Amino acid sequence: MTAALFADRTAAGRALAAQVRVREPHARAVLGLPRGGVPVAAEVAAGLGAPLDVLVVRKLGVPGHPELAMGAIATGGVRVMNDELVRSLDLAPAAVDDVVRAELRELERRELAYRGDRPPLDVVGRTVVVVDDGLATGATVLAAVQAVRARGAGRVVVAVPVGAPDACRRVAAVADDVVCLHAPDGFGAVGAHYDDFRQTTDEQVQSLLGRGAA
């Protein structure tokens, strides 16, 4: 069995921060994708001396197979769909809409839980680093990039400790830069590359955002 690359998300974030400082020294904002991306993003923000915020994105799972992403939604009304997959599975529009509505409710719940009345970080004209704990399909990060561009970011950088090679290529086609420390063949699941991949809680996200808020 291959040894895990990272002890936990904090260790992964510290390693990632070192590389982001070299590649993107002028980054002025860091956005973590909840929940697991926020502990990683907190370390990147600390390493850059940049403000930290959350960008809520929800994967749209195929009905009956929620682990398979058919798209994603993000704060600000962004919706990215894998139309080829939807067509190949012959998914009924009503079934897709049901998934979207359910995930939109969860997105709104998380926005309220993590931010409350605090407005989103101003990213207009800034170099923004979007951070997650790994890239499997890339669906949520693709939605995140679109959402950040819609908010007027000057440059959008995606940073992850580990990712599937094909997902990294898809994201590289839409982001200005992708910092991925490891893109191993036979990627498998994100959690397989961590010793400790326990679920991040809402309370942990709230605490980290309090630590790193602008």
pTM value is: 0.88
Q: What domains lie within the chain, and their CATH numbers?
A: 9-56+120-212 (3.40.50.2020), 59-114 (no CATH)
Where helices occur in the chain by DSSP H, the ranges are 9-23, 37-48, 83-88, 93-115, 139-150, 165-172, 202-212
pLDDT of residue 212: 42
Give the whole-number percent of the chain exceeding pLDDT 90.
71
How high is the pLDDT of residue 2?
A: 55
Per-residue confidence (pLDDT) for residue 115, from 0 to 100: 82
Where the chain has pLDDT below 70, the residues are 1-3, 211-214
- Please give the pLDDT value at position 153: 95
The tokens describing 126, both together, are 């800034």
- Could you give the angle at the alpha carbon of 7 between the alpha carbons of 57 and 111, nearest 5°? 20
> Tokens 């058919």 correspond to what residue?
70
pLDDT of residue 1: 42
Measured between alpha carbons, how far is 54 from 38 in angstroms, rounded to an integer?
A: 7
Q: What is the predicted pLDDT for the residue at 213?
A: 39
Tell me the pLDDT of the chain averaged across its residues: 91
